[in-house]
Every structure is written in structure tokens, then in C-alpha cells.
């Protein structure tokens, strides 16, 4: 199935495939490369600010209803204690990719350790600190298993990376 052929809402908008969520408004600049990367591949995303600590009821409801809204992968960015990805993963069967966001006090190490130390049974795939673009690329690889058009674009993207490295050698 081509993602551009997905079912639409009554307003004619395509339902999202990837949810890009973050813990606070200050995270939007760090998370923007995820949205931009998804858009380059023609993938619809839902963009939302939710806090595991300041809006826990809303975060839980969001996670519980994501699948029904057409979301297929969640990218969750957060700094500090960075519980957002884990809270979402605990309440949805969807794959969750965590983006640890650089913090002032520990340069994102606190966020990274919070995400990668999830308990057994609640997996969160985690990318590098401030690695929102790689989170989107991982989401695209997951979606590529279902959508041949995304897999084709991913293979073209990988070939372009290869060619850029080879050209750099003169």
C-alpha cells in the first residue's frame, strides 16, 4: 500500500503514519529534523507536545488511541528524566523510538540513560542524543516493510549517501 493512498478523515486529510511527540515546546527545534525527514519521504506525521509529568493523563490517552488514529510508529523526544517514550511504550503496541534531548545539566546523558534502561517488556528503540533525523529514518525503515514505496525511497536514499561518500574521494 502506498501511504499517499491511505484512508482519510471526513475533512479529507490523510491519517498520520508516524507520530512525532515531544515533552515540551522547547524541544520543537530538536525534533524538527524528524518531521522534515518524514516529509522528504512523503510520510504524514502527527506533531504533538505532551509531557509524561505535566500532562500524564493526556499522554496516556494519546498512547492508548494512537493505533486507532492510524499511527504506525511513534517517535518520542524528551530531555531530563525523559520518561515520555517509556510511558507511551507502556500504553501502546506500536513501535516507539526515543530521542534523548540534550539537557543543560548533563548534556543529554541523563535522557539517554533514561531511555535505554527500559524494563523488560517495555521496549523503546533509542537513537543518539538529539538524533531526531535518525529516529525518522528508523521509522521509515520500519514502515518500508509494509509500504514498498517507502522501501524504494529508502534504498534510493541509501544509494545517494553511498554515492556522496564515493564522490568525496575524487
Checking if the pLDDT of 6 tops 90, the result is no
How many whole angstroms separate alpha carbon 124 and alpha carbon 90?
A: 9
Task: Indicate the number of domains in the chain.
Answer: 1
Checking if the pLDDT of 8 tops 60, the result is no
CATH at residue 124: 3.40.50.1970
- Domain region containing 103: 3-168
Is 116:122 a contact under the CB 8 Å cutoff?
Answer: no
What is the pLDDT at residue 170?
A: 78
What is the pLDDT at residue 105?
A: 83
CA 90, 96, 98, 99: dihedral to nearest 10 degrees?
-140
Checking if the pLDDT of 3 tops 90, the result is no
Give every CB contact of residue 2 below 8 A, 6+ residues apart in sequence: 147, 148, 149
Is 85:76 a contact under the CB 8 Å cutoff?
Answer: yes
Please give the helix or strand (H or E) that residue 141 lies within, else none: helix 132-144
pLDDT tens per residue, range 111-164: 999 999 999 999 999 999 999 999 999 999 999 999 999 999 999 999 999 999
pLDDT tens per residue, range 61-92: 999 999 999 999 999 999 988 899 999 999 99
pLDDT tens per residue, range 107-125: 999 999 999 999 999 999 9
Whose CA is closest to 17, among 33, 31, 5, 29?
5
pLDDT tens per residue, range 18-42: 999 999 999 999 999 999 999 999 9
Amino acid at each position: 500500500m502506498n501511504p499517499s493512498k491511505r484512508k482519510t478523515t471526513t475533512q479529507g486529510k490523510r491519517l498520520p503514519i508516524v507520530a512525532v511527540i515531544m515533552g515540551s515546546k522547547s524541544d520543537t527545534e530538536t525534533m524538527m529534523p524528524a518531521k522534515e525527514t518524514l516529509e522528504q519521504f512523503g510520510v504524514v506525521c502527527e506533531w504533538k507536545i505532551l509531557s509524561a509529568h505535566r500532562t500524564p493523563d493526556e499522554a496516556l490517552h494519546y498512547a492508548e488511541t494512537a493505533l486507532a488514529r492510524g499511527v504506525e510508529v511513534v517517535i518520542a523526544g524528551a530531555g531530563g528524566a525523559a520518561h515520555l517514550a517509556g510511558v507511551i511504550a507502556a500504553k501502546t503496541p506500536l513501535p516507539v523510538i526515543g530521542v534523548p534531548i540534550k539537557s543543560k545539566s548533563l548534556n543529554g546523558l541523563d535522557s539517554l540513560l533514561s531511555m535505554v534502561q527500559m524494563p523488560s517488556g517495555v521496549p523503546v528503540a533509542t537513537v543518539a542524543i538529539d538524533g531526531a533525523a535518525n529516529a525518522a529514518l528508523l521509522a521509515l525503515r520500519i514502515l518500508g516493510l509494509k509500504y514498498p514505496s517507502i522501501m524504494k525511497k529508502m534504498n534510493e536514499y541509501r544509494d545517494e549517501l553511498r554515492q556522496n561518500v564515493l564522490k568525496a574521494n575524487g
